[in-house]
Each structure stands twice: as structure tokens, then as C-alpha cells.
Amino acid sequence: MIVTIDGVAASGKSSVASGVARALNIPYLSSGLLYRAATWAALEHGLTLDTPQAGRTLAQLLTGWEERGQPLRLRPLTEGNQVWQAERDLTEHLHTARIDAQVSAAAVLPELRDWVNAQLQGLTPPFLAEGRDMGSTVFPQAERKFYLYATPRVRAERRVLERHQDLESVEAALKLRDERDARQSAPALDAVHIDTGSGTLPEIIAQVMSHLPA
Ligand code: CDP
């Protein structure tokens, strides 16, 4: 079985995905974490993301690591996904305002999207995949698809608890990222839409579960 949960930034995707995956006793895959890790890799290597050759250069960096036996890999742990490169856990570097600000520029590069999609499509179901285009593009065959949304203010109130910034700047950054991510964020036509602004986390998880086979 494949279940997809897509949605806008800070819509609660990861927490809901983790809770649902736990209830179903299957792993969840955070596609966003792979985009964040590739962005981190690009910044570490001084790659400029807004040049015509950026996608090819980033893909070469990632495949170069692969060829040297030091691939960037998602570890889909149910309690929270991690990304490792060889023996190094990169996860703690990936949820920063710096990566938030740059990740959309990397995520529009077709070469990076192909790389992330290949990583995910190489994994064996059952799993729950979480991101922007999991139901529409990467796993169109998924049995159940969900799309989570909430107002920018609700999302900013959530994210401000994780970032050392004021509410207004967090909200402005989220709106900017919504715009930049719009192209790859259209919900799958057959997704169930859920407003995560009204209800507690356990209630939203229960709402998702009510649409899944017992
Ligand atoms: O948790 P949050 O929604 O802030 O972000 P995320 O799920 O970690 O995704 C980070 C970024 O990766 C997004 O802003 C998109 O630019 C990109 N992304 C994407 O393009 N496609 C996906 N399937 C998942 C993430």
C-alpha cells in the first residue's frame, strides 16, 4: 500500500504523516528532507542555484557521491526521517531559516526533481510519502491521497515555535515559499483535502485514518 500526504509549507504534513505511519505501522518518507539535503549540499559546495547550469552541476555532485560510495540517503524512521551522507547525519542542518530561504530555488531544478523522485521510487512499499507532488506526480498509483492546508497565519504560528524569528517574518517567508513552490504543489485530483487549522494533531490524524481501509 502507498499513501500520500501533500500540502503547503508548515501545514503539519510531517507530524500528521508520522502519526498516521505509526498507526498503520509503515514507514513514512519525507521528500522535503531530500530537497533540503540537496540544497544544503549545494550551499556547502558554493553552487549558485539560479544559473542555467545549476541543475546539472548539482546532479553531478550527487551522482559523484554515489559513485564514490558516499551517497546521500534518506533514512525513513517513523519517529522522524533523517538524511545521511556516508557516515554523517546531516539532519540537524536541514531545518534552518537559511535552507528554508534557498530550498525552493533548488526544488525547481528538473535534474534535482528527477534525482529525488528516483530515490523515492526505488523504495519498496508499503509506505506513506509526504511532500508536494507525491500524489500528483511521484506516486499517482497511491491507494489514498491527502492534501493538507491551513491559512498562512496558522502555519506561521506553528513554525515560529521551531525558528528563532518573529511571527511576521515567518509568515512572509512562508507566503514567498508558497509562491515559489506553486508549480509543483498542485494537489492530486483525487486527493482528500483536510484543513489542519481546525483541530488538534490527534484529531487530524484520526480524520486521515477515517479515510483509510481498516
Ligand atoms: O515542512 P515544510 O513544508 O516547510 O517543507 P518540506 O516539506 O521540508 O519541503 C521543503 C521544500 O522542498 C519545499 O518548500 C519545496 O520547495 C520542496 N519540496 C518539493 O518541491 N517537492 C516535494 N515533494 C517536497 C518538498
ipTM here? 0.96
Confidence of residue 157 (pLDDT cuts 50, 70, 90): very high
Minimal CA–CA distance to 9: which of 209, 165, 191, 171? Answer: 171
* Sheet containing 2-7: order of strands: 28-30, 127-131, 2-7, 144-149, 192-195
Strand 2-7 versus strand 144-149 pairing type: parallel
| CATH number of the domain that residue 108 is part of | 3.40.50.300
> Which residue's CA is the nearest one to ligand 1's atom 16?
104
Average pLDDT over residues 154-168: 89
DSSP for 36-56 reads HHHHHHHHHTT--TTSTTHHH
Q: Does the pLDDT value for residue 47 go beyond 90? A: yes
Confidence of residue 163 (pLDDT cuts 50, 70, 90): confident
Q: Which residue among 31, 108, 157 is best mutated to probe the pocket of ligand 1, counting the most ligand atoms within 8 A of its Cβ?
A: 31
Q: Does the pLDDT value for residue 26 go beyond 90? A: yes
Dihedral of the CA atoms 82, 88, 90, 91 (nearest 10)? 30
**Structure confidence at residue 164 (pLDDT):** 79
**Structure confidence at residue 150 (pLDDT):** 95
Confidence of residue 79 (pLDDT cuts 50, 70, 90): confident
**Structure confidence at residue 212 (pLDDT):** 95
Confidence of residue 80 (pLDDT cuts 50, 70, 90): confident
Task: Pick the atom of ligand 1 nearest to 33's CA.
Answer: 8
**Structure confidence at residue 96 (pLDDT):** 92
pLDDT in tens, 99-136: 999 999 999 999 999 999 999 999 999 999 999 999 99
Does 214 map to a domain?
no
199 alpha carbon to ligand 1 midpoint, in Å? 23
Ligand 1 site residues (CB inside 6 A) read: 9-10, 13-14, 31-33, 35-36, 103-104, 107, 131-134, 177, 181, 184
> Which residue's CA is the nearest one to ligand 1's atom 6?
32
> Which residue's CA is the nearest one to ligand 1's atom 14?
104
Does 134 map to a domain?
yes
Cross-strand partners of 147? 6, 193
Mean pLDDT of the chain, nearest integer: 95
| CA–CA distances in Å: residue 190 to residues 2, 143, 197 | 14, 10, 21
> Which residue's CA is the nearest one to ligand 1's atom 3?
9
**Structure confidence at residue 41 (pLDDT):** 96
Average pLDDT over residues 40-60: 95
**Structure confidence at residue 119 (pLDDT):** 95
Domain that residue 192 falls in? 2-209
Q: Does the pLDDT value for residue 153 go beyond 90? A: yes
Average pLDDT over residues 59-71: 95
Average pLDDT over residues 181-209: 95
Minimal CA–CA distance to 65: which of 48, 95, 40? Answer: 40
Task: Pick the atom of ligand 1 nearest to 177's CA.
Answer: 14
Q: How many domains would you assign to the chain?
A: 1
Average pLDDT over residues 30-54: 96
